[in-house]
Amino acid sequence: MEHPENHPDYKGLQVNSGVKSQPSVNPYRRPRARRARLTADEFVSGIRNGDTAVLGQAVTLIESTVPEHQQLAQEVIEKCLPYSGHSRRIGITGVPGAGKSTSIDVFGLHVLRDGGKLAVLAIDPSSERTQGSILGDKTRMEKLSQHPSAFIRPSPSAGSLGGVARKTRETIVLCEAAGYDTIFVETVGVGQSETAVHSMVDFFLLIQLAGTGDELQGIKRGIMEMADGIAINKADGDNVDRANLAAAQFRNALHLFPPTPSGWRPEVVTYSGYYDLNVDKVWGMIDRYFDFVKANGYFEKKRNEQAKYWMLETINEQLRNDFYMRPEIRALLEQKELRVLNNEQSSFTAAHDVLNRYYELLKDVR
């Protein structure tokens, strides 16, 4: 008898045998829900083996602001560095609506036709404000995002333009170590981010639209001076003549610019990204450029200059962060600002005072 309550003489409530309960733990569940953190060497070997999940995780590490992530990320970058450098780095800029995503989609397929691997990265300064990046969004590059040899990564979203750009630059190193031999870095042609992109790519392509002379004026002169090539998009249908006219105008405008440090004369071509017309003209130009700068030594020279630039930029960024993140310095700055605005102290002595306080703080730590 299982229970005394079930004895024939028992008059109270009876207990019926129930249904056996299921084990509370699902035997098919994976042993660990959380992924264990990889070591730097595991990251590097995953990246080198072309494991895109590991590459993606490593990029996330680069983008993290957590100090220990940063430390690990730097170790991974350092270990990837010997395998980096063997790619064509191409910057692509143009105002919103110029057709960057449409073009990158077809450019990408064009590059991948001959094999190889392509990474599409982005620098989007507006992401700081919108709390999310627009550039590099996979949905904008429909065909490319489904291609097994393409790695698309949106712009890092947090921090200053300098910080965002540095992360993209570091991501290039990882992508190259993973065997990506063409890297696109996309940016919106409206602000300062071009300078940052220019400082990390070999070739800088400006995507333009056919337009009136007025629109030509609207383009920032600085951006045109940085461009190694101008590609006029949407040269299709009724727009072909206008595109050709615009090309002639751009060629004339470029003649007025001083010669580029590479000795290369920027070219202007017309194409249609949407209808996939004359895309090989764009690539013909890019191929000619690489042949030219590799032959005259400018390719190496520019990369060395860029490496130096990024070292100095990183120092600047870290110094600035260290300075401005200190509560005591921030408080003192606020006071000094008031004094300067009230004409109680000159800007220069106020700056000196704040800097001196900073140096004292540094001494205290030592």
Spell 261-270 as b/e; 16+ CB within 10 A means b: ebebebbbbb
Counting contacts by CB under 6 A, is residue 101 touching ligand GDP?
Answer: yes
Partnered with residue 119 across adjacent β-strands are: 151, 183
Give the separation between CA 234 and CA 236, rounded to whole angstroms: 5
C-alpha 109/C-alpha 90 separation (Å) is: 15
In angstroms, the CA 215 to CA 233 distance is 14
227 touches ligand GDP (CB under 6 A) = no
- C-alpha 30: how far from chain center: 34
Binding status of residue 99 toward ligand GDP by CB under 6 A: yes
Q: Which stretch binds ligand GDP (CB under 6 A): 113-121, 152-160, 231-239, 290-298?
A: 231-239
Question: Does residue 215 touch ligand GDP according to CB under 6 A?
Answer: no
Is residue 97 a contact point for ligand GDP (CB under 6 A)? yes
Q: Is 233 in the site for ligand GDP (CB under 6 A)?
A: yes
| Selected range binding ligand GDP among 3-11, 80-88, 230-238, 261-269, rule: CB under 6 A | 230-238
Please state the φ and ψ torsions of residue 137, each to the nearest 5 degrees: -65, 125
Residue 292: closest CA among 228, 248, 225:
228
Question: What string of H, E and C letters represents the secondary structure of 51-83?
Answer: CHHHHHHHHHHHHCCCHHHHHHHHHHHHHHHHH
Contact status: 243 vs ligand GDP (CB under 6 A): no
Rounded least distance, CB 91 to ligand GDP, Å: 14
Q: Which stretch binds ligand GDP (CB under 6 A): 85-93, 94-102, 119-127, 176-184?
A: 94-102
Indicate whether 109 belongs to the interface with ligand GDP (CB under 6 A): no
Compose the 269-298 pattern: x for residues touching ligand GDP by CB under 6 A, - for all others: ---xxxx-----------------------
- Residue number with CB closer to ligand GDP (103 or 306): 103
Q: Which residues bind ligand GDP (CB under 6 A)?
A: 94, 96-102, 233-234, 236, 272-275
